[in-house]
Amino acid sequence: MLEGLELEGGWRVTQLLERAPGATGSHFSTPYIVERQDGSERGFLKALDFTVALDMPMPIADALQLLTKAYVFERNLVLKCAAAGMSNVIKGVDAGQIRIEHTDVNPLLAEVPYIILEEADSDIRAHANAHLGTLDEAWTYRICHGAANGVRQLHQADVAHQDLKPSNVMAKGSTGMIGDLGRAWLKDGSGVFDGGEFFAGDITYAPPECLYRAAFGDHWDRMLCNDMYQVGSLLVFFCTGSGMTALIHRRLPPVFHWTHWPNDYENVLPYVRNAFDRVIDEIESGLTTERARDVISLIRRLCDPDPQRRGWHRYQRTLQQYSMERCVSAFDRLARLAEIDFRRSTLR
């Protein structure tokens, strides 16, 4: 319905983007490409779809209120991040509302709020699928480095992402950018999904302790710990094509699975760790890079199923344990070493 329409700010909607098979997230919006009318800039538009309120398991008035609150939250947050100059967070360019002048349109679509974001090359899941087996090692580490740096920038602004997965990480050349802040958690508790005690994002990529509903530390520590796990799972995705949680799930006996386990996480943790160790061994056996030992060490550190041992646990119960600064440095080192090897190979 929006194709061809002109928006405020000199934008024109040029193309509806089809939802990729198997895509997750963004169920409340419809994606488009937009261009400045003078052709000077392109962007990505998210149009809020109020009609999903009809299928939500709550009174329609409550559903519409939730959708509106979620839209306003994400709009304000992406524009705030852009104003703060976060270099590895997809920039919010514009936002507004457009009226669709159709006499037969569903009343819920008559007024369409939207957010315009800067355009990236593609999400890294699509890129990896298109270049399976030929991904450049240095490019992989640079994408992870950019994603980790984006998370670091959010944490410095007291924002936790909570939904970092391959489809929410974008590539701009060899730089990783993180997007889709709709499930973000704010330290001051003012976000839409802050009421979720354990995890607000896609549970397919949730840390295992969240799936067992295990609480530790304070709420902010848990959010930082969740983000760290998901950064590590991003590296696992590049190694295997799957996230760490899915790999653990496949190797965990059904009786110990989070949908069946009746007791606390401490009692099931040895079995989760056993599945985790099997995943690590399989990843290591498949790595051919000279940096295999460093890659495995980083995955272990970032994805440890015990949140008390995750991160730099020698700084346990301090701000340094889940610090993304060290994570950013680790990926930068891996990328630099891979780049040096590449230059050497071209000189032979």
Question: 114: closest CA among 48, 68, 69?
Answer: 48
Report the pLDDT value the prediction gives residue 172, as an integer from 0 to 100: 85
pTM of the model: 0.90
Radius of gyration from C-alpha coordinates of the chain: 21
Which CATH superfamily, name and number, covers 122-347?
Transferase(Phosphotransferase) domain 1 (1.10.510.10)
Confidence of residue 28 (pLDDT cuts 50, 70, 90): confident
Query: What confidence tens digit (pLDDT) does each residue in 73-97 have?
Result: 999 999 999 999 999 999 999 999 9
Report the pLDDT value the prediction gives residue 133, as an integer from 0 to 100: 47
Residue 338 predicted with pLDDT over 60: yes
Pull the structure tokens for residue 294: 């460093």
Report the pLDDT value the prediction gives residue 248, as an integer from 0 to 100: 97
Give the three-state DSSP class for 277. Answer: helix
Confidence of residue 21 (pLDDT cuts 50, 70, 90): low
Report the pLDDT value the prediction gives residue 27, as an integer from 0 to 100: 61
Of 99-108, 185-194, 330-339, give the range with the top mean pLDDT.
330-339
Give the three-state DSSP class for 269. Answer: helix
Report the pLDDT value the prediction gives residue 190, as an integer from 0 to 100: 73
N-terminal to C-terminal alpha carbon distance within the chain: 56
Report the pLDDT value the prediction gives residue 52, as an integer from 0 to 100: 84
Please give the DSSP secondary-structure letter assigned to residue 89. Answer: B
Specify the fold of 6-118: Phosphorylase Kinase; domain 1 (3.30.200)
* pLDDT > 90 in the chain, percent: 54
Q: Please give the mean pLDDT across all residues of the chain.
A: 87
Query: What confidence tens digit (pLDDT) does each residue in 196-210 have?
Result: 667 888 999 999 999
Span(s) in the chain for CATH 1.10.510.10: 122-347
Distance CA 309, CA 218 (A): 16
Distance CA 283, CA 273 (A): 15
Report the pLDDT value the prediction gives residue 132, as an integer from 0 to 100: 46
Report the pLDDT value the prediction gives residue 55, as an integer from 0 to 100: 84
Torsion sign, CA atoms 170, 338, 276, 199: negative
Span(s) in the chain for CATH 3.30.200.20: 6-118
Report the pLDDT value the prediction gives residue 126, as an integer from 0 to 100: 62
Residue 348 predicted with pLDDT over 80: no
Report the pLDDT value the prediction gives residue 129, as an integer from 0 to 100: 57
Residue type at 34 in one-letter notation: V
Question: 227: closest CA among 246, 248, 200?
Answer: 200
Report the pLDDT value the prediction gives residue 131, as an integer from 0 to 100: 46
